[in-house]
Amino acid sequence: MNAQTNSRNIIHVDMDAFFAAVEQRDNPSLKGKPVIVGGRPDSRGVVATSSYEARRFGIHSAMPINEAWRRCPHGVFLPVNMAKYQEVSKQIHTIFLDYTPLVEPLSLDEAFLDVTGSTKLFGSAEKIACALKKRIRQQLNLTASVGVAGNKFLAKLASDLEKPDGFVIIDPNKVQQFLDPLSVTRIWGVGRKTAEQLFEINIHTIKDLRSLDEKTLNGLFGVLGRRLYELARGIDNRPVESISQAKSIGREITFEEDIANRESLETVLLKLALDVARRLRRKQLKARTITLKIRYPDFRTFSRSRTLAEAIDLDDIIYRQSLTLLSEIPLKSPVRLLGITLSNFISQEVVQPSLFEESQNREKEVLTRVIDEVNEKFGKDIVTRARLLKNRL
């Protein structure tokens, strides 16, 4: 298998300092100033996004607002205006759809586009990417960093290399040449802990990582080992999935040893809820139906479902509903398998929250988005619940 297997024409678009850039665009007096979006300096919030001028002071997403103020007391601190950012995101998405229906949003400010079937109409993937950047700049007065490659991993990696206003194309015939000099921390899934493990065995670059065979990586990192083996070779066969293609999102775990303790099951349930909720938000969806599934050692399988009046995507709500469903199933024997599935989707763009919901959930939504971005950039679960740190799966 090599990097050219099932090669597609994939574009990854990542808006530069999105929230802050929108604020600077709408208020020209903020141009060139360190803008920190997240709340007042005396609030207990965290940084959602900071402008590149603010980043020179070491300010980054998920940093406590009071720490950002300590580092940059002369910065401009603004509240999160989610409604405005969602509207701009919708305008960007409309531009994407002019070139392909295969658009997979990861968040308000980034998305994958599969333009494999669009090149006959619009020209090469490079030309399409140029057109996207040009239209975003001309129509919305914003800049985007764009990566073009044969798969999602490479395209996302490329878009991150020359921010802001970056444009990087990875030649399908020079994938390994491109990857080898890069740090292993550039690989999806290599967070701080995994990086430390690799550094301890003198693995620093992607070329170094390729020196380890798949068996060795599996022994060191379990299921992540195979993923590292493939990504070090530029292999990623995941398709771009548009919102309309997603029917359900779920995850289940089969235990090495059957679990009878309810508290342990609830901890596993928390892990599952966080995982499916994160995937739901990556697709910019909300779900109305939650299904819980359990399987006993004799393979008897039970499920319980609940359809809610309002669509949801927050970790805590999904977890609480899952706990309620678990309480409805009599645990007469140890459990072999536990799973959560979300379905009955609604796009976040068409959800109209009530004023009560907006006031209750706005801070949670902002914090959740920031945590998602940190985990996406630095590795899954780099920020997680204290309960899960004591009960790693």
Q: Hey, which residues are catalytic here?
A: 110
Beta strand spans in 16-73 (E): 35-37, 49-50
Q: Which three-class secondary structure state does DSSP give residue 171? A: coil
Beta strand spans in the chain (E): 10-15, 35-37, 49-50, 76-78, 103-107, 110-114, 144-149, 167-169, 248-259, 285-295, 301-312, 335-347
Report how far apart, in Å, the C-alpha atoms of 78 and of each of 35, 160, 366 are: 7, 26, 13
Give the pair of three-digit tokens for residue 146: 């764009």
| Rounded (5°) CA angle 282-287-290 | 115
Instruction: Please give the full DSSP string across 198-227, using - where no structure is assigned.
Output: HHHTT--BHHHHHTS-HHHHHHHHTHHHHH
Give the pair of three-digit tokens for residue 321: 């509903």
d(CA 94, CA 97): 5
Contacts of residue 34, Cβ cutoff 8 Å, sequence gap at least 6: 50, 51, 53, 54, 56, 57, 59, 72, 74, 75, 76
